Amino acid sequence: MSNAEPKQVAWNPQAGSSTSPLLQLTLIRFREFLREPEAVFWTFIFPLLLAGGLGLAFRSRPGDVAKVGILTSAPAAETIRAALAGDSTLQLVSLDDSAAAAALRIGTVALVVAAQDAQRVEYRYDRAREEARTARLLVDEALQRSHGRKDAVAVTESLISERGSRYIDFVLPGLLAMNLMGSGMWGIGFSIVDARRKKLLKRFVATPMRRYHYLASFLLMRLGLMVIEVTVIASFGYFAFGVPMRGSLIAFGVACLLGALVFGSLGLLVASRAKTIEAASGLMNLLMLPMWVASGVFFSAGNFPDAVQPIIQALPLTAVVDSVRGIMIQGLGWAQLLPEFAIVTTWLVLSFGVALRFFRWR
Amino acid sequence: MPAASLALEVRALRKTFGTVVAVDGLDLDVHSGECFGLLGPNGAGKTTTIEICEGLQEADSGDVIVLGQRWNSDERALRERLGVQLQETQFSEKITVEETITLFRSFFQRGPAVSEIIGLVQLDEKRAARVGTLSGGQKQRLSVACALAGDPELLFLDEPTTGLDPQSRRQLWDLVERLRASGRTILLTTHYMEEAERLCDHVAIVDQGKVIASDTPRALIRSLGAEQVVEVELVEGAAVPTGLFATTTGVLDSRIDGPVWSLQVSAAHQAVPAVLRTLEAAGLSMTELRTHTPTLEDVFVSLTGRHLREQ
């Protein structure tokens, strides 16, 4: 720089072409998201890992095999072993006393058989465990038959295998809805609180920017990401586990759209006053934790007592989970989805209205 | 002066936060095309004042007219004509310089091209760099660039050089001088007296929420009537009689601040020997003696008895 007279600022004030502020704000949202590798991971990769893990752990095994321990210290261990060896539904393991106790405790065997002689056996198992009760029935059946028990009633079996009744069919729509909640609330809530903390909100308010453009840019980003999230998770379920899509894709799209919007609005609501990330974080957990537990993501909401059912059914996540699951697994139509859609829309209108009304811009 | 040439007019402005009076009956007249400085120590009420003028805070009472308009009428139309730079804005670190300026440009209906703004603030080489990688001075110039996005008639700069190293500060001064030369009205706050002296056509010295003096920097300094300022630092802990230099030849005014006496003198060559004689007569010894031409700092000291940068 020379010390000469400062140059005039000679520019053409009309030279700049004005692009749409809503477009620019939305582009910034996407850039902020895509340039944050952690956010990309939690939004896209994590739900896939979770679905994959749960799908593998709870996959339906044809002709489930019960693991049974034979207590080697019992006098008739070998006799019993020979009697059970022919049964393909049982997997036998020989165990001494301490190994048997340990195996029962950690669930590597469902049942331990201690045989005094060929006529007297003792079953050791935990009655509260389903696979232990099943193992007891299987072992008992095999033992009694090998000693000549005859069926009193003639039975024929016709086996069916219904797609849509497995655990993965139950949990995948739940995970999809939960993901819409998580990325909507964290994604929007944190960005806004962060912008407020960095005085960026105040800086925007000092320009002619329209305030609803700013808020709308977050919802637009959520809609864009929602399409990707939902497509990735639903097609992963379809191709990796054969999770069906029985209902109409349009109804499914509407359910996901409403879900993304309602949790986006709840994110705006949580962020509308909070000045620190910590305060927002607490509020988010307060809102989301009951829904993770009660809304039927991992197990049916019907497990909760009747007295709290009206509350659980009114939660936004319950409504989104039920509608997404209903469309994918049961193929529900518009009329059956109406109550869920009404609940979600009510939450959406209320939370967006309140957020807009109480939003702290400075 | 007719009101039409005023870019900003502030009358009897008052703002309290709880029991703290931040602004206490403050008046300002900022003329179109001038660079006006609010000079004062931290906590004097400068930021509160400028944010009320920017329509970001509401006054308890008083009147603010910006470009002939009050904040209760068409706010967006007024914002189209203003450029605002805030003291502590942190832009998104993941977004580039060009993307940030493009965003701000999109908020305004008219204004220069983004590339022109980038050129003006000399961030051409950093055009594609993310904000997180910029130095303090570059971030501050980006902040000014965003304030220029709407080709503003009136530009507010709140402590634009606070926390910058001397070189970055000079680059920013250079930028402000170019903006001033282009005929924009600028209102800036600062607690650096050399910044106010160099950049401002007009300075209002603010202390405890009030304007205690307002004029051109030269006139403020001339009002001291002193040709030189002599500073005498005494041995720490010495008992110093008040009015020590009251009758010393050539000393117009004297202030003590800690161990340092600040003396305004008319003719240094006569005053300095007289000062030495006074010290000798009082049996005091000094550790240092300095002289300098008077600055706005001396004006502030003369008005308040305190230094600008003390806490």
Give residue-wise pLDDT tens across range B76-131.
999 999 999 998 899 999 999 999 999 999 999 999 999 999 999 999 999 999 99
B167 touches chain A (CB under 8 A): no
Q: According to the model, what pLDDT value does residue A7 have?
A: 47
How far does B91 lie from chain A, in Å, by closest CA? 6
B174 touches chain A (CB under 8 A): yes
Which DSSP letter does residue B96 get? B
Q: According to the model, what pLDDT value does residue A4 have?
A: 43
State how far the Cα of A113 lies from the Cα of B187, in Å rounded to an integer: 90
Give residue-wise pLDDT tens across range A202-258.
999 999 999 889 998 999 999 999 998 899 889 888 888 888 899 999 999 999 999
Give residue-wise pLDDT tens across range B161-206.
988 899 999 999 999 999 999 889 999 999 888 899 999 999 999 9
Tokens of B266: 């008319």
- Taking the CB of residue A201, how many other CB atoms lie within 10 A of it? 21
Q: According to the model, what pLDDT value does residue B3 have?
A: 45
Contact B107 A209 (CB under 8 A): yes
| pLDDT band with cut points at 50, 70 and 90 for residue B1 | very low
B residues 65..104 contacting A (CB < 8 A): 76-77, 79-80, 82, 84, 86, 88-92, 94-95, 99, 102-104
> Is the CB of residue B291 less than 8 Å from the CB of residue B226?
no
Q: According to the model, what pLDDT value does residue A336 have?
A: 92
Q: According to the model, what pLDDT value does residue A120 have?
A: 86
State how far the Cα of A121 lies from the Cα of A310, in Å rounded to an integer: 50
| pLDDT band with cut points at 50, 70 and 90 for residue B246 | confident
A13 touches chain B (CB under 8 A): yes
Contact B182 A12 (CB under 8 A): no
A4 touches chain B (CB under 8 A): no
State how far the Cα of B161 lies from the Cα of B195, in Å rounded to an integer: 9
Of B56, B76, B105, the CB nearest to A16: B105
Which residues on A lie below 8 Å from B104 (Cβ)?
207
State how far the Cα of A280 lies from the Cα of B298, in Å rounded to an integer: 48
**Positions in chain A whose pLDDT score sits under 50:** 1-7
Q: What is the enclosing helix (H) or strand (E) of A312?
A: helix A309-314
Residue A299 has phi, psi (to 5 degrees) of -145, 160
Of B99, B112, B130, the CB nearest to A12: B112
A119 touches chain B (CB under 8 A): no
Contact B82 A205 (CB under 8 A): no
Q: According to the model, what pLDDT value does residue A61 have?
A: 55
Residue keyed to tokens 């009205």 = B185
Contact B94 A15 (CB under 8 A): no
Say if residue B24's pLDDT is above 80: yes
State how far the Cα of A100 lies from the Cα of B184, in Å rounded to an integer: 88
Q: According to the model, what pLDDT value does residue B78 have?
A: 95
How far does B232 lie from chain A, in Å, by closest CA? 35
> If you count residue pairs, one on A and one on B, with CB atoms under 8 Å apart, how many are there?
125
Class of domain A66-146: alpha beta
Which DSSP letter does residue B69 get? B
* Sheet of strand B185-190: strand arrangement: B82-85, B154-158, B185-190, B35-39, B202-207, B210-215
State how far the Cα of B217 lies from the Cα of B96, in Å rounded to an integer: 39
Contact A24 B89 (CB under 8 A): no
Of B94, B108, B180, the CB nearest to A208: B108
How far does A292 lie from chain B, in Å, by closest CA? 32
Which residues on A lie below 8 Å from B120 (Cβ)?
9, 11
Contact B151 A13 (CB under 8 A): yes
Q: According to the model, what pLDDT value does residue B185 have?
A: 95
State how far the Cα of B256 lies from the Cα of B277, in Å rounded to an integer: 18
- Going from N- to C-terminal start, the domains of chain A cover 21-55+163-358, 66-146
Q: According to the model, what pLDDT value does residue B281 have?
A: 86
Q: Where are the alpha helices (DSSP H) in chain B?
A: 46-53, 75-79, 97-107, 114-120, 136-147, 166-181, 193-199, 217-222, 268-282, 296-304
How far does B95 lie from chain A, in Å, by closest CA? 7
Provide the percentage of residues in chain B whose pLDDT is more than 70. 98
How far does A234 lie from chain B, in Å, by closest CA? 31
Q: According to the model, what pLDDT value does residue A2 have?
A: 41
| pLDDT band with cut points at 50, 70 and 90 for residue B212 | very high
Which residues on B lie below 8 Å from A39 (Cβ)?
none
Q: What is the ipTM of this complex?
A: 0.86
pTM reported for the whole predicted model: 0.79
A residues 153..182 contacting B (CB < 8 A): none
Sequential DSSP letters for A263-279? HHHHHHHHHTT--SHHH
| Domains (range + CATH), chain B | 3-220 (3.40.50.300), 225-293 (3.30.70.980)
